[in-house]
Chains A and B, each alone.
Chain A
Amino acid sequence: MSTATLPNFKPRKSKNRDIVFPLVNGLILCILMFVTLFPVLNTVAISFNDGIDAVRGGIGIWPRVFSTEAYNALLSDKLTYNAFGISVARTVITTLLNLLLTSMLAFALSRKEYVFNKFITFIVVMTMYVNAGLIPNYLLISKTLKLTKTFWVYIIPTMFSCFNMIVIRTYILGLPEALAESARIDGANDLRIFWQIIFPLCTPVLATVALFVAVGSWNQWFDTQLYNGSKKNLYTLQYLLKMKLATSMQSANAANTSVDALANATKSTPVTVRCATTVISAVPILVVYPFLQRYFVTGMVLGGVKG
């Protein structure tokens, strides 16, 4: 018995534990699943409920008065389909470009012998903490770059992410050094080592980062509001849904408006539409997720460089 290294070890209990632990563990995870699944199902249930009925609350995980009116309201608008296309386009293009740029830098910064390594790392990491604020950024995009009312405003400002760079760099650092070394002896330059050896090996981490970037890009609506609010053919799905959600704040001059004006002033979005919006915007991500999940079962490693 190797109790020398682990003095408190009691072998007899081990069998018992192997039955008890998985059971307890499974139970805890099941409770957790219930707790997290309930609100999700509740949201779906409300989205399929009659709007006026849902205002009264108290719906569980099954619609009380079934209706697809919320989806009809959201999907009957022709703009929705165009917006869906724009959303897909921006998500795909942003993800690809972001992966390329981010992994390129991650590769360069994974090379300890690189002379500008520390300098660039510092400059880039700081971007996670300094933020010029809404207005300076807006002026950069609209005045300096004149990107307003173009599709590229969705792509160009979001081509790089520092957090993801660190994730990828750490992964590359965890790869066996020998691979790159032997390629170098064979006369391959850094560009080829990156493109032909490192990049393909990074598939798991790239899948994870792709998920992060794609979710971020897909959920973005504020840039549409700021830069493309007057171009309805450039609306994204999230923006369109956000518009449907926005409750009217304008209290028409109440004392003397007619009932008709009143009806419009009080327009507020039924809770069902809000939930349907959530479902519609989450579904595409949920569909893509299992394909990506396969990859990060084999792992994403985030570790530091020894300073």
Chain B
Amino acid sequence: MRKLVAMLLALMMVLSMASIAVAEEPIVVTVFRGDPGDQPADDNKIYKMIEEEFGIKFEFEFLAGDLDETLGTKLMNEDFPDLFDGGNSAEKLINGGALIDLLPYISEEKTPNLYNHIKDLLPQLVNDNGELFIIPNYGINYNGQIVNACNGPAFFVQKQVLAWDNYPQIKTLDQYFDLIERFLAANPTDENGAKYEGFAILCEDWRHFCLINPVQHLMGQPNEGEVFINRTPDENGVYAVETFIDKPYAKPYYKKLNEMYKKGLINPDTFVMTYDQYIAKLSSGTVLGMFDQTWDFGTATAALETAGMYKNTYVALPLVYDESYGFGTISEQYLNGGVPNKDRGFGISVSCEYPERMINLFENLLSDRWQTILQWGIEGEDYYVENGRLLMTPEQYSVRSDATWKIQNQALTIWESAPKKQGSMDDGNTWAPGDQPEILQLNMSDYDKEFLAAYGYGKWADFFNPPCELAPWGEAWQIDSAPIDDDNKDFLACQDQWLPKIIMSADDAEFDANWDAFVAEIAPFAQVKTEFMQEEVMKLVNK
């Protein structure tokens, strides 16, 4: 096996040597990334290798202010970089005509790596005119998706709460709040006398998904954003789409939150706190539970682990409504199959003079050799190989989170925005070092190992059902709402303003009145949203 890899690598070397031979004079490629970032060091070792091999030197520009404002001025002035990553507003670059169609450059003969990378997903990725402007930067898995933990949305609870109750199986909303309530009654404060808070809800700005998204999951669907989609089509092949927040099945969740608020489990400050305050609270270890997405509070997890407060870190739980709610038996489905990160990543701008060389660069970077360099680094320096396994020492792994090290030793921007391989290599190693089981074990604290052992699980994802198969429309939250921008904003604003009021209702009568007023007010926007999403989902299905 190892020999094979070596031979393959050698072959790759020869191939890439060949590409140097044809190669072209050195050029400077300008790159814009619609996300803040750090300029790499001048002597960055990976960029140096790219320069030597492809004759390409990069000049990076990162976002500092408002993304749309920045893109707007660039579009108006037609001042485009060669490689253009529009971040979360990339569709504006496409609509504004800033990018070239990549499909004419991609073929099985000339660019086999890129061709194989996207061929299965092509129907999903191209637009209505059959054009492809951006190759997804994430979400294309080789040899299956690796799911070690829930990185996305879930209900979270501090590990000590589960440990206190002797590691129970918490599957439903009622079990979850019942547990927190009992824990809080037995332990009103932590060992330092700081008051525990039962459940926190972050509402700030675009992070309001903590407030408005849970219902779909309680009903057993993975993250589709703000709509509920029936996964079984009707006789005409139509997947019914509806907004869920204004539906009767949303009410019980907020009713539950209202009860918890009245019982003092929810602090009114939760509706006014900023993201910084939220992170500070989680990091102090006094918040017992919340609904969130794992990546959203990584800073807090890091702070808790550094302080050795492992018992205050969180476990993700897939909760659903139990039968008593009258929606039947719901099976949880939080994890979703590999979703390509559509329209996110590098596009090539219309003012780029050498689109072929750019495609050629991506093609070569997608080779096994370069993918290893981009993701793992240089053998002997950044990782070592033992019995065919790619491994890292604790030092080698921990230095990867050091900002100064990164700007010298990783081609971070290129790695993040260019097409990449995820999942596993053909020899069983994982493409991402952090997914490699040996490295995962190395990084897990003893507390966590014991915790998992108490449940008889090997990894955090074992709390969840396996990922479902990806729906033909991908994940609906990726659908760009720009055509109904105003209505969409009003749709969201209406939830942002009403839901806290609803949760803080003083009694049942007030709760019902608030809820009815909310449903009435949101109706016109919800209708626009529903119709739009229905149409878009079916467009994707019918491709």
Which residue, of A249, A250, A258, A271, has the highest number of chain B Cβ atoms within 10 A?
A258
Q: Quick one: given A252-B138, A253-B139, are A143 and B77 in contact (CB under 8 Å)?
A: yes
Cross-interface CB contact of B375 among A250, A260, A266, cutoff 8 Å: A260
- The docked-state distance in angstroms from the alpha carbon of A143 to that of B339 is 41
Complex interface bits, B400-421 against A, C-beta within 8 A gives 1, otherwise 0: 1101100100001000100000
Which residue, of B60, B73, B145, has the highest number of chain A Cβ atoms within 10 A?
B73
- In the complex, residue of chain A having the shortest beta-carbon distance to the beta carbon of B297: A266
Which residues of B sit under 8 angstroms from A249, Cβ to Cβ?
Answer: 35-36, 67, 87-88, 206
Chain A min CB distance to B87 (Å): 6
Chain A interface size, as a band, is 35 or more
- The docked-state distance in angstroms from the alpha carbon of A246 to that of B61 is 14
Interface residues of B, count at CB 8 A: 84
Asked if B69 CB lies within 8 Å of chain A CBs, one says yes
Chain B min CB distance to A114 (Å): 40
Tell me the A77-121 residues at the B interface (CB within 8 Å).
77-79
Tell me the B336-384 residues at the A interface (CB within 8 Å).
336-341, 344, 375
Tell me the A255-307 residues at the B interface (CB within 8 Å).
255-266, 268, 270-271
- The docked-state distance in angstroms from the alpha carbon of A254 to that of B336 is 10
Cross-interface CB contact of B412 among A222, A224, A255, A264, cutoff 8 Å: A264
Q: Quick one: given A243-B62, A262-B294, are A139 and B76 in contact (CB under 8 Å)?
A: yes
Whether B283 and A138, one on each chain, are in contact in the complex, defined by CB atoms closer than 8 angstroms, is no
- In the complex, residue of chain A having the shortest beta-carbon distance to the beta carbon of B72: A135
Chain B min CB distance to A192 (Å): 45
Which residues of B sit under 8 angstroms from A139, Cβ to Cβ?
Answer: 76-77
- In the complex, residue of chain A having the shortest beta-carbon distance to the beta carbon of B412: A264
Asked if A57 CB lies within 8 Å of chain B CBs, one says yes
Which residues of B sit under 8 angstroms from A63, Cβ to Cβ?
Answer: none
Which residues of B sit under 8 angstroms from A264, Cβ to Cβ?
Answer: 412, 416
Cross-interface CB contact of A271 among B79, B141, B276, cutoff 8 Å: B276
Asked if B298 CB lies within 8 Å of chain A CBs, one says yes
- The docked-state distance in angstroms from the alpha carbon of A188 to that of B438 is 88
Which residues of B sit under 8 angstroms from A232, Cβ to Cβ?
Answer: 39, 59-60
Which residues of B sit under 8 angstroms from A252, Cβ to Cβ?
Answer: 138, 295, 341
Chain A min CB distance to B364 (Å): 21
Query: Quick check: which of B244-252, B254-262, B302-310, B492-500 contacts chain A, the rest being far away?
Result: B302-310
Cross-interface CB contact of B87 among A222, A225, A250, A261, cutoff 8 Å: A250
Q: Quick one: given A242-B64, A255-B336, are A56 and B283 in contact (CB under 8 Å)?
A: yes
Which residues of B sit under 8 angstroms from A53, Cβ to Cβ?
Answer: 303, 306-307
Which residues of B sit under 8 angstroms from A225, Cβ to Cβ?
Answer: 64-65, 70
- The docked-state distance in angstroms from the alpha carbon of A225 to that of B335 is 39
Q: List 13 A-B contacts (CB under 8 A).
A: A55-B280, A55-B283, A55-B300, A134-B69, A142-B77, A143-B77, A226-B73, A229-B32, A243-B64, A253-B344, A258-B146, A258-B434, A264-B412
Residues of chain B at the chain A interface (Cβ within 8 Å) = 30, 32, 34-39, 41-42, 59-65, 67, 69-70, 72-73, 76-77, 79, 81, 87-88, 138-139, 141, 145-149, 151-153, 206, 222-223, 276-277, 279-280, 283-284, 293-296, 298-300, 302-303, 306-307, 335-341, 344, 375, 400-401, 403-404, 407, 412, 416, 422, 430-435, 467, 475
Residues of chain A at the chain B interface (Cβ within 8 Å) = 52-53, 55-58, 73, 76-79, 134-135, 138-139, 142-143, 148, 221-222, 224-226, 229-230, 232, 239, 242-244, 246-266, 268, 270-271
For the complex of A and B, the 7 pairs showing the least CB-CB separation, nearest first, are: A266-B298, A259-B434, A258-B432, A246-B36, A57-B280, A253-B341, A230-B61
